[in-house]
A and B are shown apart, each in its own frame.
Chain A
């Protein structure tokens, strides 16, 4: 049996094991270990496993992950997200669907200091969902707005997925962060357009807030000063070339703690909660990265990417058709796989193929993040929908599945835009670097 076939079997076996409730990182490690044992021998496979486990977790490039997570956790625990929502609500008052738009806008802004889709969705569920329900919003629209807005957390920089992509695809993180900014803003506006369309079609689903005065709107802007400082210093610092991503993450986390303390919104207990959650989340993410690194090491040795490349070349497909195929595969995988694991398994396989067809690895990173986002909100899993349902069990999950459908148009629209106009992602990095 050829190594490539062994690789393919291992991928299917991985899906099987995952469906049996084995934790994602354990499943990846088992498949990688068994695969390497078949390809080489057990001693070598064990040695590879031990070395990769340590090297992965000691990788300086990945040290931004716990620090960006900490920045997001501190921002959450110091109620920064609540201030963002409050400001957006006042500014957007008097617009049909204004609260849904405020939720999406605040999620996009919060994503700029958070980096995690689940954290953004969980935070906004606590803050905006009760307000929308109080205002008489339809439960489906409320939940769908939170779920869709939450996905902005992994596209708008800093993005944990992009950090991981940067490490495995060996692409400079500042360029990836720069590439994600404009698509992130476009996606936010696309989500807003969907919410406005739904609200205009049926105003009973999204009653209007009484309009605020101009003065109130201007004053509302000042409530978001902490967010502006954090984003400008950390992400702006990367764009300006002042800090490395690791330094920006550390400064962002420290800044979030100082700002929370100055505004008297971050208690010692809240700080400990944020630190504990950061350590937990980092440990879980690194365990997945560890397992996926071992699995990816095996997949690369099987030369499966070469087989895939030869296969696509033999089909004489146009580059856009290959990309379409890759996107479809990602969407199918997103039905079953968790985002980070999916990126770690697939990027080493797909990236050589995509690059061979003339696509930029930086552009591809944005496509990957968008398809991961889609997986966060489309059935049958849709992690963000589960997060909302877990916090608001009275909202039926089936209702959320239906309500989210129009919002799926936005990421699909963005993928189409990116395929037609790659400069949407590539322009800013080309200007900055």
Chain B
């Protein structure tokens, strides 16, 4: 088995780092909710901003885990056609699907830019916490950008290895 190129190893570690941030956001979401319940029932003093913090952590967790999920080949696909057509056709369809994924993610980044910019310009903040909404948008954009990067990397690797994908092995 050949050693993985350094670019691939770097990408794997980079996506893993993003995944760790996503996991941290998930843990914070869980922790703040439990703390809020305990404070409410034990001391009648719910944590102010707990609701906002959950709404902040949720998109961070989802958007930053997405690049790893894409690299690991996790998105759900209906593969009924695999039993009908030949391997070559399946490979072509996988390439088309990968390209469509990369294009759509790049489009999504572009489509999210304007409302993110609006949130910055109008100074939207979270009601309880006063946390600037544009920062959450920035995390979301960062996640979508990296998801597009992940989709492109997966596509390139798929093409160069004719179906076998080292990035998927690493991420999974």
Residues of A within 8 A of B (CB): 18-26, 29-30, 33, 46-47, 49-51, 53-54, 57-60, 62-63, 66-67, 70, 243, 246-247, 250-251, 253-254, 272, 275-276, 278-284, 286-288, 336-338, 341, 380-381
Contacts and interface: CB of A to CB of B under 8 A. Distances in A.
B129 interface: no
Contact of B65 (A59, A254, A279): A279
A21 B108 contact: no
A46 to B, nearest CB: 4
B76 interface: yes
B108 A53 contact: yes
A283 B34 contact: no
Interface residues of B, number: 55
Interface in B108-122: 108, 110-116
B80 interface: yes
26 contacts: A21-B82, A22-B100, A23-B75, A29-B108, A33-B107, A46-B114, A50-B112, A50-B116, A53-B140, A53-B144, A57-B58, A57-B140, A58-B59, A60-B55, A67-B26, A70-B26, A70-B30, A247-B33, A247-B36, A247-B37, A250-B34, A279-B23, A282-B62, A283-B68, A284-B69, A381-B80
A336 B78 contact: yes
B29 interface: yes
Q: Main secondary structure on chain B at its contact with chain A?
A: helix
B62 A21 contact: no
Contact of A279 (B19, B36, B37, B101): B19
A286 B96 CA distance: 23
A153 B140 CA distance: 31
Contacts of A246: 33, 54
Contacts of A250: 29-30, 33-34, 37
7 tightest Cβ-Cβ pairs between the two chains A and B: A250-B33, A50-B111, A283-B65, A23-B75, A279-B65, A50-B112, A283-B69
Given A24-B75, A276-B23, A337-B78, 16 more contacts: A18-B78, A20-B93, A21-B93, A46-B107, A46-B114, A47-B114, A53-B112, A66-B62, A253-B30, A275-B23, A276-B19, A282-B62, A283-B74, A286-B62, A288-B76, A336-B80
Residue picked from A26, A253, A336, most chain B C-beta under 10 Å = A26
B47 interface: no
Interface of B: 19, 22-23, 26-27, 29-31, 33-34, 36-37, 51, 54-55, 58-59, 61-63, 65-66, 68-69, 72, 74-82, 90, 93-94, 96-97, 100-101, 104, 107-108, 110-116, 136-137, 140, 144
Nearest to B63: A57
A228 to B, nearest CB: 20
A58 B126 CA distance: 12
B52 to A, nearest CB: 9
B22 A26 contact: no
Residue picked from B33, B100, B137, most chain A C-beta under 10 Å = B33
Nearest to A23: B75
A60 B81 contact: no
B77 A57 contact: no
A344 to B, nearest CB: 12
Contacts of B100: 22, 26, 30
A280 B74 contact: yes
B60 to A, nearest CB: 9
Contacts of B31: 254
Nearest to B24: A275
Contacts of A282: 26, 61-62, 65
A288 B62 CA distance: 12
A21 B55 contact: no
A61 to B, nearest CB: 10
A23 B101 contact: yes
B77 A54 contact: no
A183 B72 CA distance: 36
Nearest to A340: B76
A380 B83 CA distance: 11
Contacts of A62: 58
Contact of B79 (A21, A57, A243, A272): A21
Contacts of A33: 107
Nearest to A71: B30
Contacts of A254: 30-31, 34
B80 to A, nearest CB: 6
Given A23-B97, A50-B112, A243-B37, A66 B61 contact: yes
B24 to A, nearest CB: 9
A247 B111 CA distance: 33
A20 B33 contact: no
Contacts of B80: 19, 336, 380-381
A297 B116 CA distance: 20
Contacts of B96: 20-22
B65 A60 contact: no
Nearest to A274: B23
Nearest to B38: A251
B81 A54 contact: no
B97 A66 contact: no
A51 B108 CA distance: 10
A246 B36 CA distance: 12
Nearest to B102: A26
A54 B78 contact: no
A361 B27 CA distance: 34
Given A26-B101, A279-B23, A279-B65, A19 B33 contact: no
Nearest to A17: B100
Nearest to A48: B111
